[in-house]
Amino acid sequence: MSLRPELPLAGLNPAAARAMPPEGVKPQDLAAFDEAVASVGCALVGESDYLPVELQTGLTREQVIQTAAYRVAAEEAVQIEGGGVRLITGACAPA
């Protein structure tokens, strides 16, 4: 008989389990990223999207790009045809 507690794995997304936030990006940075991207219409496409997200979060451009890639890997965002990323969770979840 095993006395080890079993962790519930139902509903665990394997891609999300493997995705790791970018180095130096904290959980509060991820939350700020989501809020900032929502404030620009839920998509990062061009300079007019990236700059406000950088200013609101305090993240560098590289960290914003890496965080967007992390959200895609975790299936919390999708790539937009023609370039860019759209969040699909929280305030940006499709209706």
Q: What is the DSSP string of 31-82?
A: HHHHHHHHHTTSEE-SHHHHHHHHHHH---HHHHHHHHHHHHHTTSEEEPTT
Single out the residue of 53, 18, 58 nearest to residue 36, CA to CA.
53
Q: How many beta carbons lie within 10 A of that of residue 53, not counting itself?
A: 23
- Give residue-wise pLDDT tens across range 67-85: 999 999 999 999 999 999 9
pLDDT lower than 70: segments of the chain: 1-18
Single out the residue of 13, 95, 73, 81 nearest to residue 43, CA to CA.
81
- What is the pTM (predicted TM-score) of this model? 0.81
| DSSP reduced 3-state for 27 | helix
